[in-house]
Amino acid sequence: MSQSYEVIFENNKKWVESKLAEDPEFFHELAKTQHPDYLYIGCSDSRATAEELMGAKPGEVFVYRNIANVVNTLDMSSTAVIQYAVEHLKVKHIIVCGHYNCGGVKAAMTPQDLGLLNPWLRTIRDVYRLHQVELDSIQDENKRYDRLVELNVQEQCINVIKMACVQERYILEEYPIVHGWVFDLRTGKIIDLEIDFEKILKDIQKIYNLTSSDWVMSRKTN
């Protein structure tokens, strides 16, 4: 155990050396500030690391991860991250990224008491409830879980769009745009679910209009 722990510091040393070899000013510039275009909301699963699967460099992606990439507006951790990214970092894109073979999604469908995880997983169980007819019609269990992963991403995107800070900034600047992705562990590929951000936003505004302005999107649709 101690040997594997020490390897981390050896790897860090090699990483620092490689960065300095590429650019002697790399860390000097990195320490100044950050201007990421992306907020990535993903799962804590150790196999789905945001920067690596995106091919991103330090400073390019603002990252928030939890079990099963849940965005619960009662959870101050996720809402604080989103508000900071939107209002202060001025990110242009918010990505909610799930992944196939997600342990959190599978646990949510396990009919047993999971202790402190119960309230967290309830959000995913609610996704199943909302889409139960479609999911129950899928006979293959693995395909059913895959579809639940996709639907969970979709519903978490909706939760992001419900937030006032996202709606207000989009009115002013036409950013950020919310995207839904799934990372396929079996192939290594990112799948864009092609969430129709503008349509969802218009539908949400009928109930969750948290701005003081009329919703006008003719500039982009005409």
Residues 26 and 132 in one domain: no
Catalytic residue among 28, 35, 37, 47: 47
Catalytic residue among 97, 102, 157, 179: 102
65 catalytically annotated: no
List, in sequence order, every beta strand (DSSP E) within the chain: 38-43, 61-66, 93-99, 177-183, 190-192
Residues 212 and 139 in one domain: yes
Q: What CATH number corresponds to the domain at position 63? A: 3.40.1050.10
Residues 27 and 94 in one domain: no
Catalytic residue among 28, 35, 37, 43: 43
93 catalytically annotated: no
List, in sequence order, every beta strand (DSSP E) within 53-150: 61-66, 93-99
Pairing of strands 61-66, 38-43: parallel
Residues 19 and 42 in one domain: no
CA angle 180, 184, 186 (to 5 degrees): 175
Residues 13 and 107 in one domain: no
Instruction: Specify the long-range contacts of residues 3-6, CB closer than 8 Å, at least 24 apart.
Output: none
Secondary structure letter of residue 125 according to DSSP: H
pTM over 0.75: yes
Catalytic residue among 97, 99, 169, 179: 99
102 catalytically annotated: yes
Let me know if residue 99 belongs to a domain.
yes
Residues 7 and 117 in one domain: no
pLDDT score of 46 = 95
Compute the half-sphere exposure of residue 107: CA atoms within 13 Å on the CB side of its CA: 16
Domain that holds residue 9: 1-32
Residues 118 and 180 in one domain: yes
Catalytic residue among 23, 35, 37, 45: 45
- pLDDT single digits (tens) 124-169: 999 999 999 999 999 999 999 999 999 999 999 999 999 999 999 9
**Residues of the chain where predicted confidence (pLDDT) is lower than 50:** 215-222
Q: Give dist(CA 166, CA 138) in Å, integer.
A: 34
Task: Please give the tally of structural domains in the chain.
Answer: 2
